[in-house]
Structure 1
């Protein structure tokens, strides 16, 4: 954490660790430079859009998946679905990118070859290179990779609900949907709120369904750069490729401060609305 200080200093890698303290103090110079950079608006837009799409569309999926698995009657079927759904979580993003390339490549991807052979299209669709497709592909791959893993948390919460509540609801004539609405969902509310707060806290980094950085650094290219470049990849390139460590630290520090604020705000809102929170 002590390295954060170089965001306010004119640090050079050649000065080593002592440079953290001996470098010239420049204050908010690099913060101002980033905010006034011509790409600032584009970077913020891409970061917020990707993270917002994941929060809106990906957050409910593990909850729905957990509900469907818990309501399935066949235990063997439940085990197969649960195992198949959470296995992608153990696949690295590098391999996910390789799989997506094999499936969606414009020239040799399985999907494009199949569509061409069926006569639906004349030439391959640039799923991975067109700027307009990056956000959708990012969301789809994140949901596929992470939903099964997060569903385990909600399944654990469902298993902790007192079975007598379901029996009482059935005696009152409640059908399956009403039992889900009035028993299951209220029973997993603490787990949902906890995951939501954690997701909001890591909102700028991708939330609960995957790293924006890894997706953008692997799937980003010169063609779709206008929609794939985010604050994290920009800071990484500034620091590692151009050696501007102080500037990159300042950029990342801005994002970290925003994330801390989001955690505190979301926790307070959750406490006021439902009396549930992390602290």
Structure 2
């Protein structure tokens, strides 16, 4: 396996925050989702560096002004996230799924909270959406002053349902968090101890790493984004053996970021077509 840098963002080189996203080569409506995702990040009230990780040799569209890395083979979502962490140079990094959207002031709120509290990781609250109506509508946090939490997982459709991550009711930190690679290292859980891929529990394992390192975490009880819930389409709901593998083998200390930074997965020079 190898990778190339197919595109370099033209601005925000010194941004405090890099926001990244895995662009899976088999994603439905990939280009439409990518465009609205990119617009959402460009609407942030503070400038951000943007990284997109493409896999299986899939090339970015010409209009995409972001740091675009293309890997020659298929990647798991957590390998892609780990790659983005390895390739980021900002003080903070943040993930944002292809089908989730941030309030226009969300990054500003999260990085402000991180700096004010010296926290290693900050998460917020999310309004749960069950269709695509949230993809192209800019909004500012807090989205709603009134919302309701229900513990069902997967979430069951209802009005004004919040995820419970920013308020701590679900015990999670949210589908997108902001954190400091300087504090935790350029690492994101990618493999179990036997080398097998993590398929769906990478978030929870990453939060556990923070707890083990006694790093400070903060939850903002503000609705900073809209989370799309679709059990038939999302990796976290697909059947796998993650929990069994974790119980049997534990978590590998080596992530995909280590394989990149150590040269096992090399970066090759980009050769434009023609």
TM range (shorter): under 0.3
- Structure number with bigger Rg: 1
Structure-1-length-normalised TM-score: 0.22
Structure-2-length-normalised TM-score: 0.23
Q: Pick the structure with more helix per residue.
A: 1
Q: Pick the structure with more strand per residue.
A: 2
